[in-house]
Amino acid sequence: MATRSQGTDFEFTDRMLKRNLGLSQLLLLSLGAIVGSGWLFAVLSANTGAGGGAFISWIVGGILVLLIALTYAEVSTMLPRSGAVVRYPHLTHGGFTGFVLGWAYLLASCSVPAIEAIATVQYLAPHVPASWHILQNHASSTSLITFPQGFAFVVVLLIAFFFVNYFGARFLGRFNNTVMVWKLALPTLTFLFLFFLDFHPGNYTAGGGLAPFGTSAIFTIIPGAGIVFSYLGFRQGLEFGGEARNPQRDIPIATILSVLIGTLLYTLLQLAFTGGINWGILHIKVGDWTALGALPVAASSPFYAILKASGVGFLGGFAALLLADAVVSPFGTGYIYLGTGGRTIYGLGIDGYFPKASKAIHPRTRVPWVALLASFIVAVAFSFPSKSWYGLVGFITSATVFTYIMGGVGLSVLRRTAPDLPRPYRLGAHQFFAPVGFLAAILIIFWSGFVTDVQLVAALFVALPLFAWIYMVQKGYTKPAVAYPLGVVFLAAWLVLQWWGHWILSPRAATVIKLHAPFAEWLILCMVAVFGFTFLLWLGSTREGRHEINRTWWLLVMTYGLLTLTWYSGGLGVLASVPRFLTFGWATLWAAAFGLVIYFWAVASGYRTSEIEAINATGSGMVPDESETAMLAGTSAGVPGQ
């Protein structure tokens, strides 16, 4: 049997990473990413969308995310890796699946630092001198942060995020431990003070009961109101897995515990926020949730507005601390996600999707510094459209959860393709939890609604030419004479289709259907473009290249199937003039049934990749760092016959 020191080219640079993070640091990194801008904004958008029963949405959202997290717990202990979420699909389904999901995760992880920086500007803007001119319209979801003043403020915050990460994982972990004391204390105190000093239980049924907008609203706000977005930080334990001291013990504990703590904290905060609303002082009719969301100061600074309008002097004074937290909480989440974005780009470089420079490790701090710099640049690019927090959260949620479909699929595939690798944590009843975790991700994407999902599809497939130009050519699967012109033609066609559809490259109102191209025609042409590109690439590829492409058809069918279902469900209530052929309940059942078929197709498509073969040969999913490699090499040199 091969020794651990032999390793593979696929993981060569992993040895240079320093394993400095313990359980408490992994847990606090995950919690630090969970307790960010979500607690400052999502409580209001949840009330606006679902009414007094919004706290139920937090509980359901937490359960769904926990089901997803459970599917990663086993794989992360078996194969602890930095940039884990984008590397597992490559190990189970090869390059094409790995690229599509990796690109989606890149869009999500690198845009979160932008939304956290924007959150700080948005929360503080109504309370700073008007001469700063950093906010255009308190309640608008687009073009909210001004240019250049507000945008410059966002960039300064992003630069700070970069340097917190640049000094290494150990510095990041210790710095985050200090910040987390504040980040956990202030939300806890906010709940306690509101609950015991200014609590109005009648608010839970104001405006027409627990669900004044219908039961379906409790579910559809889960992705769109920032609820799932707030929980997505659980993945930090996975993403920093290659830098953990004892990953096989600590990663699953940090991952699962962070979701449980986050669910409890956010549910209590929603209960306190809803119960703390004083309609009279806010001059709003009791139960008019829509008017509450349109109130400028509430939209920009929800908890601050409720505390100031409580009529309790102490709470009004305490509200000032929330302005400080508007810097601390998003800052503490932003620098974590910038590091995650860097490790995502690093992981994609390891997989072969990006140039070799993306794998560069800084010789002193031992962080993937080129990838970290690229993460910073992408975050700046996402900030440039000057959206508000509310304008970005839905897209980020859907793009992230889209990649989480691989948790359950990867777990089942690796049970078959790597049965002998040590599993310090083994998920019981995986035949149940793997498909259920997959369906949890499917339903979150489905409930995001048509407007969000159509933007996700547009952003997802625009990168397909990169797969042909970089991965397929470097692997020798496709000749440049085939890959380059095919990619250029597809890119031009795809951009024209998105411009014609006016879903993503146009300022037209996304929810007014008559302003956009007919859906059926647009969908058919988009499918022709994607499936045509894939088929032509298949024709021009070697046997190995065709094999990898064949393992991805399920993913393309799933993407367009879900998009079609959201449309014929009336866009899940957010579109005007769309025929609703399916009620919410039936549409959800159809989405679940469709997802179950796709799950079994996806598991059947998984195979024993060359990378997992190499890992199997070592007998261990662990990657030794440089000191361990040197020790093993020295031991082998002293043993005859080695």
What is the mean predicted confidence (pLDDT) over 506-513?
A: 53
Give the pLDDT band of residue 2 (cuts 50, 70, 90).
very low
pTM of the entire structure?
0.83
Whether residue 635 has pLDDT greater than 80: no
Give the pLDDT band of residue 414 (cuts 50, 70, 90).
very high
Q: Which residue has the tokens 């950093």?
A: 134
In a domain, 258, yes or no: yes
Q: Please tell me the least confidently modeled range out of 33-42, 262-271, 489-498.
A: 33-42
CA angle 31-34-38, nearest 5°? 145
Q: What is the pLDDT of residue 511?
A: 54
CATH number for position 488: 1.20.1740.10
In a domain, 224, yes or no: yes
> In sequence order, what are the residues at sequence separation of 6 or more whose Cβ sits closer than 8 angstroms to the Cβ of residue 52?
203, 204, 205, 206, 207, 209, 210, 212, 274
Q: Which of 105-114, 146-155, 308-317, 594-603 has the highest mean pLDDT?
A: 594-603
Domain count, the chain: 1
Residues 136 and 206: their CA atoms lie apart, in Å, by 32
Q: Which of 67-71, 125-129, 387-391 has the highest mean pLDDT?
A: 67-71
Q: What is the pLDDT of residue 637?
A: 43
In a domain, 1, yes or no: no
| C-beta separation of 300 from 140 below 8 A | no
Q: What is the DSSP string of 356-369?
A: GGGG---TTT-S-H
CA distances from 387 to 122, 131, 143, 154 (A): 10, 21, 5, 11
Q: Which domain holds residue 571?
A: 26-618
What is the mean predicted confidence (pLDDT) over 77-89?
A: 79
φ and ψ of 478, to 5 deg? -140, 140
Q: What is the pLDDT of residue 631?
A: 47
Q: What is the pLDDT of residue 143?
A: 47
Q: Which of 20-29, 313-322, 490-499 has the highest mean pLDDT?
A: 490-499
Q: What is the DSSP string of 214-237?
A: -HHHHHHHHHHSSHHHHHGGGGHH
In a domain, 346, yes or no: yes
Q: What is the pLDDT of residue 3?
A: 38
What is the mean predicted confidence (pLDDT) over 418-440?
A: 91
In a domain, 21, yes or no: no
In a domain, 323, yes or no: yes
CA distances from 432 to 123, 416, 437, 439 (A): 43, 16, 9, 11
In a domain, 451, yes or no: yes
What is the mean predicted confidence (pLDDT) over 11-25?
A: 68
In a domain, 549, yes or no: yes
